[in-house]
Amino acid sequence: MKIQERPTPTPTRVEGAQPLRWQRRHVLDTDDWSRAEIEAVLETTGAMLDILRRPIRRAPPLRGKTVILFFAEASTRTRVSFELAAKTLSADVVNITASGSSVEKGETLYDTVRTLEALGGDIVVMRHASSGAPYFVAERTGAAVINAGDGWHAHPTQGLLDAYTLRAALGDLAGKRVVIVGDVLHSRVARSDINTLVPLGAEITLSGPPTLIPFAWRHGALPRGVTYEPDLDRALDGADAAIALRLQKERQESGLLPSVREYARVWGLSEQRVRRMKPSAPVMHPGPMNEGVEIDAAVAHGARSLVEKQVTNGVAVRMALLYLLVGTPSLEVA
Amino acid sequence: MAMPRTVLLGADDVRRAVSRIAHEIVERDRDLAATAIVGIRSRGDILARRLREAIREHENITVPLGSIDITLYRDDLTRIGYAPVVHESALDFSVDDKVVVLVDDVLFTGRTIRAALDALVDYGRPRAIRLAVLVDRGHRELPIRADFVGKNVPTRPTDDVRVHLVEVDGRDEVELVAREAVTA
């Protein structure tokens, strides 16, 4: 893994911010997080990046703890990122994937939870195609649960790593305008980015085909700090950063967009288009990228791209959360 | 309940202690080319910076300076009930073959130093690690001793030794607050 070189700009801290006592038991969604909690994670992330830069990339706080990676939906990078994060903090890691496991043989989520419980994991990191599945598990296990993506609902670690990456690039996010473009309707990334970036002071401009924007949002009932601009060129004018969302192939089949080529032409981040933003305004993508669709290869690998930094920071953010959760006392489950 | 407090070191005492330790560091190792100073956050790093300044004044040599956060190496993480936020360490030089002078404000049980030693060796293999503290208050729980001590102070285990430094607290002072064992 490539580790960014020092000096890394330390994310700006809020003036007079009080040191925070981490109290959360699970990371299910960031929609109810205070700014102080987000700041605490970002601060700890900086310390974790420091470990990743050292000659010996290992620290002991999760020694003797077991992290279960339960991925009931395909994912390589997020799972590997969590695995690396857990191992760097000296945890033991157990993988349970949907294919080849009893999940495929028809085991219910409840039975899987009982199994996870019996395995004695301290932290369960889970991805699931059903929105809300991590809540179901969190209510029924003594382990701490981290949501690694549930349906269309939330992907909190992505939101936090995007916040860290943007802050490292832009400094204080107060008044900074970030464009999120693409399939917002089905995107847990978009929702988690909004939940993390808005409390830090950023203003979000959503753009994308109206069919892929939540109905209420495109009719003006938007969350605080968020606007919708159907014209991508206008959205990008003078923006401080842009995040392209991944276009799922199924969306075309379900008739929500005319063709992938047309999508690329109207909603893709092309080199010409990103020049509408402020000079050197960065571009991000949660990966894996469809190059030539939502983002041009020249932009994805160009000077504005923070995509690789997102990957590195992702490991550090996950380390920070694993560390913070393992310190919170477990509750006995009846 | 009133808690009697005694001033152990005033501003001048702190200044003299730092200056003396700086001299002792130089006398101990002579070859300052291999010396580095590493402070333990969040008071030791300030003292470390002052020590480096003092060495520069006396010897006209600027030794490498770093700071480490030892939180991840604490042995009581699962016992204190919450995970303290970890701050960035700042160690931008290689510790390999260096004589690293570890700096902390108060030496008490020795557990912080144990954690710092573990953290430090994850950065490389120093030729030697020495320990400088402003106050040694006794009650060690581990076989650890300081090489350079500003002041030895007899205390009771329940006492509180508070170090105030200008950079963060607006004044230089070390005080002892006597406390009865508190029953929660």
Bridge partners, B149 (sequence order) = B133
Contact A121, A67 (CB under 8 A): yes
From chain B, pick out residues whose CB is under 8 angstroms from the CB of A43.
85-88
Q: For CATH 3.40.50.1370, list the domain ranges present in chain A.
A: 35-154+312-326, 156-306
Mean pLDDT of B10-31: 94
> CB A56 to CB B78 under 8 A?
no
* Mean pLDDT for chain A overall: 89
Q: Taking CA atoms, what residue in B is nearest to A331?
A: B81
CA-CA distance, B36 to A140, in Å (whole number)?
Answer: 51
Per-residue pLDDT reduced to its tens digit, B55-80: 999 999 999 999 999 999 988 877 77
Say which amino acid occupies A260.
V
pLDDT on residue A131: 93
Q: Are strands B35-40 and B65-68 parallel, antiparallel or unpaired?
A: parallel
Minimum distance, in Å, between the CA of residue A260 and any CA atom of chain B: 44
Bridge partners, A203 (sequence order) = A177
Please enumerate in sequence order all residues whose Cβ is within 8 A of that of B64, keeping only pairs 6 or more positions apart, or say none.
B36, B37, B92, B93, B98
CA A116 vs CA A83, A92, A98, A122, B44: distances in Å:
17, 14, 14, 10, 43
pLDDT on residue A9: 42
Domain spanning A156-306: which superfamily? Aspartate/ornithine carbamoyltransferase (3.40.50.1370)
pLDDT on residue B107: 96
pLDDT on residue A108: 84
Domain spans, chain B: 12-154
Minimum distance, in Å, between the CA of residue A152 and any CA atom of chain B: 30
From chain A, pick out residues whose CB is under 8 angstroms from the CB of B72.
47, 51, 59-61, 89, 323
CA-CA distance, A67 to A136, in Å (whole number)?
Answer: 18
3-class SS of residue A124: strand
> CB A47 to CB B118 under 8 A?
no
DSSP 8-state secondary structure symbol assigned to residue B34: G
What is the percent of chain B where pLDDT is above 90? 80
DSSP 8-state secondary structure symbol assigned to residue B142: S
Say which amino acid occupies B136.
D
Say which amino acid occupies A328.
T
Of A239-243, A245-249, A279-283, where does mean pLDDT reach its minimum?
A245-249
pLDDT on residue A233: 97
Mean pLDDT of B159-173: 94
Helix H or strand E segment including A149 = strand A144-150
From chain A, pick out residues whose CB is under 8 angstroms from the CB of B73.
59-61
pLDDT on residue A118: 86
CATH level 3 topology of B12-154: Rossmann fold (3.40.50)
- State the alpha helices, DSSP H only, in chain A: 35-53, 77-88, 109-119, 133-138, 156-170, 188-197, 215-218, 232-236, 250-253, 260-267, 271-274, 297-300, 307-326
CA A283 vs CA A14, A239, A303: distances in Å:
25, 11, 9
Probe site for chain B from A50, A51, A63 (most B CB atoms < 10 A): A50
Bridge partners, A93 (sequence order) = A67
Q: What is the pTM of this model?
A: 0.87
Q: Taking CA atoms, what residue in A is nearest to B124?
A: A55
Identify the architecture of domain A35-154+312-326 in CATH. 3-Layer(aba) Sandwich (3.40)
Query: Closest Cα partner for B74 from B50, B52, B41?
Result: B41
Per-residue pLDDT reduced to its tens digit, A1-59: 445 444 444 444 444 445 578 889 999 999 999 999 999 999 999 999 999 998 889 99
